[in-house]
């Protein structure tokens, strides 16, 4: 299918993850992440898990899927390798009186035994791991036979997928690392999961980024979205201006607002697979 299914053994994934950890830990992703809450709720509805089901949220960030499943009385374990994001999620859970187990964990080496969970989920999280096939393998390892894996992943042609590409033109990603948006490709999902899992559904949906204006969006993301903050910080004044210009052009392409505000439509894939 033309999708990469091998791993470059020369890539230093540990070094890449260390840099990613710094990037995601900078700014305050929780302020961006909370705006995506509806995607976690919709995934929880689509997964249709029984109350008390054991659910693992991988690369959970500030807990959108975590809270959605906890609200449905599932037994949720929430993991991420950025502790500050788990702390933000914990504060949200406490505010609602929800019980969640939190654990700092690497999505490429989950600290759980085989077939520990009834479901494993991730919303715009595990797709950012550098060793994509390893993390896909881990999701399948820890879910029970007959259990479900549910994800929300940006697609390659989406606004966010194109934003990754635009930033990459100005600040190239590390060698050996593929676009996170591969996780939003049905061919890639079938290659990465099809040996052990059946594809239950692959639905293309749209999330609307709603901001006051283009300037508001850029300011908000430069301040709170670590990867964008680090990209701008890596450039000189001229480079920053060029990146800003290209992002503004991309925003204009995807803006579907019918008034003076900004509404960016970004496609994502809601994916559910079942472990055989």
Segment 104-109 mean pLDDT: 97
Give residue-wise pLDDT tens across range 145-154: 999 999 999 9
Rounded CA-CA distance 250/81 in Å is 31
Domain boundaries, the chain: 13-156+174-208+267-275
At residue 112, φ and ψ (nearest 5 deg) are: -135, 150
Cα distances (angstroms) measured from residue 106 to each of 128, 131, 135, 186: 12, 11, 9, 25
Q: pTM, whole model, 2 decimals?
A: 0.93
- CATH architecture, domain defined by 13-156+174-208+267-275: 3-Layer(aba) Sandwich (3.40)
26 exposure class (CB count in 10 Å sphere: 0-12, 13-18, 19+) = middle
Quick one: pLDDT at residue 21? 74
How much of the chain exceeds pLDDT 90, in percent?
88
Query: In angstroms, what is the C-alpha Rg of the chain?
Result: 18
The confidence band for 5, taking pLDDT boundaries of 50, 70 and 90, is very low
Give residue-wise pLDDT tens across range 21-40: 777 778 899 999 999 999 99
Which carries the bigger pLDDT value, residue 256 or residue 12? Answer: 256
Mean pLDDT (the chain, rounded): 94
Grouping H, G, I as helix, E, B as strand and the rest as coil, residue 227 is helix
The backbone region for 129, taken as left when phi is positive above 0, alpha when psi lies in -120 to 50, beta otherwise, is beta
The confidence band for 81, taking pLDDT boundaries of 50, 70 and 90, is very high
- The total of other beta-carbon atoms located within 10 Å of residue 62's CB is 27
């Amino acid at each position: 299918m033309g999708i990469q299914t091998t791993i470059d053994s020369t890539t230093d994934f540990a070094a890449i993850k260390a840099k990613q950890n710094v990037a995601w830990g900078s700014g305050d992703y929780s302020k961006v992440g909370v705006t995506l809450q509806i995607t976690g709720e919709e995934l929880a509805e689509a997964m249709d898990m029984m109350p008390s089901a054991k659910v693992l949220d991988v690369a959970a960030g500030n807990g959108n899927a975590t809270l959605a499943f906890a609200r449905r009385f599932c037994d949720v374990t929430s993991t991420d390798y950025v502790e500050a994001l788990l702390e933000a999620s914990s504060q949200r859970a406490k505010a609602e009186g929800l019980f969640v187990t939190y654990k700092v964990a690497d999505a490429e080496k989950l600290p759980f035994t085989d077939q520990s969970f009834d479901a494993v989920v991730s919303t715009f999280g595990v797709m950012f791991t550098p060793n994509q096939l390893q993390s896909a393998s881990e999701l399948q390892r820890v879910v029970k036979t007959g259990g479900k894996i549910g994800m929300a992943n940006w697609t390659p042609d989406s606004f966010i997928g194109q934003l990754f590409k635009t930033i990459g033109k100005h600040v190239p990603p590390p060698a050996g690392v593929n676009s996170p948006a591969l996780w939003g490709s049905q061919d890639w999902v079938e290659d990465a999961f099809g040996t052990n899992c059946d594809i239950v559904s692959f639905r293309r949906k749209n999330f609307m980024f709603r901001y006051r204006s283009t300037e508001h969006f850029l300011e908000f993301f430069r301040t709170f979205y670590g990867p964008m903050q680090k990209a701008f910080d890596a450039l000189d004044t001229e480079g920053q201006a060029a990146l800003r210009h290209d992002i503004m052009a991309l925003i204009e392409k995807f803006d579907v607002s019918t008034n003076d505000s900004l509404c960016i439509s970004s496609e994502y894939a809601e994916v559910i697979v079942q472990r055989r």
